[in-house]
Structure 1
Amino acid sequence: MVGEKRKASSESGSAKKRQAISFETKVAIIKKLDTGEKMVSVARAYNLNRSTVGTIYKQKDRIMEHVKGAVPMQSTIISKKRGKIIEEMEKLLTIWLEDQQQRRIPLSLMLIQEKAKSIFEDVKAKAGESAAEETFSASHGWFSRFKKRANLHHVSVSGEAASADKEAAERFPQVLKEIIEEGGYSAKQIFNVDETGLFWKKMPEKTYISREEKTMSGYKAAKDRLTLMLGANAEGSYKLKPLLVYRAANPRALKNVTKSSLPVIWMSNMKEETPVPMKKFETKLLAEGFSPIDKAIALFEQQDPNIERCTKVANQLNDAIQCYRIIYDEKKKKTLQSSLDRFFRPVSSKSSKEDTHQPSSSSPRPSTSSYIEVTEEEVTFEAHSSDDEDPLMI
């Protein structure tokens, strides 16, 4: 008895495998439930869980609609059959993709999706009213399936291969031959020159380490690059001095080194960055900015019968530009002349009483650019001037 219990418990503890249910079984289950048979008894009859039978019955409409489409009753998955319009669209899309490939035009997923939608709408319009209910969204799932059907894969575009003119390249040997024959050039006089990039600080991506070590810490890859132009004649008897283009005209490593002594022609191509002009506030421009806002508020007040609404809008506008009004007030204060200290120099009362004398009519008038000596007790000046007023003349 104990052995039988242990055996039963071990069998119940084992993981139950998922069972694929055919459409024939699903339809039979739905029919039995429709006749009023209990869900528990149907589940026992087909050796299924009650929840599985419940899920099948919930999908009753979807299952029966799919069965009506002449689907094999032994199939287990509800698959959507592609319509004729989508099939025609995919054929035209495949032709378009091949045409773009011949033209060497790179395509992204978004471009293909937009083109698929456009072709679908054209085919749907030609089909007429019979295809009025057809819809197509060009989803990522559709593209994933279409990619498999059309045997497409994603690759990187080669740098110069796509931009090369194949026909011109095929004609060039004959054209070059004619030029050489007409000019009577020898192999010594014909040179071929080409440029290439060199990452002169690039380190190897792989290395050798001891078997005890599993990994090696990496490093930040250096991207210092220079451009080389190399050339030689067709005979191979003469090589041109390489032309080297670097970003710095006088690098620190070549300090006190004469450029002409180098085995290359040293050139630099440092891109000068245009300095960005610093922004600053100007009193005149700030006032010009406030003017249309003040006019707009005044116009609203003239037209709006709702005083509360108009006041609320005016307060919100003023609060929004309050920071600029504070800047304007500060700059305006700096431009105002609050005193005449730049024109007058106060002196002590004693020295002024002893030395003060009336200037004669023949004495020259003091210049406005110099200080005038007056006492603080004799005269007090208050001046308020702006940038538009002339300085005080005495």
Structure 2
Amino acid sequence: MKTSRLAALIVSALLFSGCGLFKQKAADYYLGKARKTAESRNPPQAEVESAFANIEKAISYDPGSAYAVELLGRLADSASQNGFSGAQELEASALKKALTASPLNWSAREALTTFLAARGDTGGLEALAGQAQELAGAGGEEQRYCALLADLAARASALPWLESEAYLSLNKSAETLFEKASAYEAGAVKVRALKGETDKITAKDPGIKKYAPAALVSASEVAAGDALRDSEAMEAIAGFNVRAASDKAFRKGVELTVQGNASLIKKEYAQARAFYQGALNYYPALVDARRQLAEADFQEGAALAAAGENQKAAVKLLNKAYGGATAVIAEASKTGNLIPFVKPAKFLGETYSLKAADLAALRAVEGARLRNTARLEREFKAALDEALKLNPEGRLARELLERYTKDGF
């Protein structure tokens, strides 16, 4: 007897067992078929796709099934490891269908949150958070608790990605920077509130945790812990938003600095310098622009020296960059940087790296003509030590150390 005919007979027979029992039996049947594929070694793609379809069928019969979600994850992981590139998307599709059929399937909600968080889908996470917020106000205390956890997991998972998007915008778009900074602050405020609310509920009734899947409880706690770990950075972002909203000169200075960064990436040095100087004209205390002005001088000077063109101009630019970096270090050591998403230690460490690189370039260009070599070497070593201490992962500082260890100053 053909397999398809046998399956039809089994499903038909189950119809006589009552609606509820039929649905459960049908779900178990399709999950059993999918489980065989999930446990197989390197099954063909067609079989994997059929297994995903079987899980979707099982979910259609039992939308609240936590086991279907767990099996779905195992199947997706196994298929991905075997080289099936579409497995994760099929998993996400099935999870979305499960939530459409049963919004209170907390296991599916947690799994989809994890899926979207791994891909940095902040829009998708925001949508899940909005759904969870609605569910929190639509049921009893157990539903409210689970919904608050789901909301917390989604919003907290989005925060690191918002921070990353803001960081990337520093070289692209000031408007995106302002937008992401505001979104980050609003998200952080909401995460704090949700964390406080869930903590209050569990303090009042510790037993309520049993109504939420362990994976959801864990996901919300881990995501919130990661999101709220750096309180100083969160305060800096909030302060930046206040200043950008209330001080037009500061906001304009930031806009020009970002435009300068975009020009610097294109190696349009004169244009970059004009933007940075414009930023400082608007807001002289914007140490971020001053640091980038020194960076532009260094990059152009180093490029001229490497090309063997106009060594006199190269030395002039490198000396200017040296003075600029030294001034920024003195200022930033007291005030820190004003544009967030680069931590103060990293900002200062990268500026020390810039100073060390500039001194190394001057030594290479000037050679024996360089005056006060011993003093400058001491400055180089001190700057390099500070760079590595403040920002151990800094690539430039590590390269300079390797070169210095091998060739000296």
TM-score by length of structure 1 reads 0.17
- Normalized per residue, the structure richer in helix is 2
| Greater RCO, 1 or 2 (C-alpha within 8 Å, sep 6+) | 2
Select the structure of larger CA radius of gyration.
1
TM-score by length of structure 2 reads 0.16
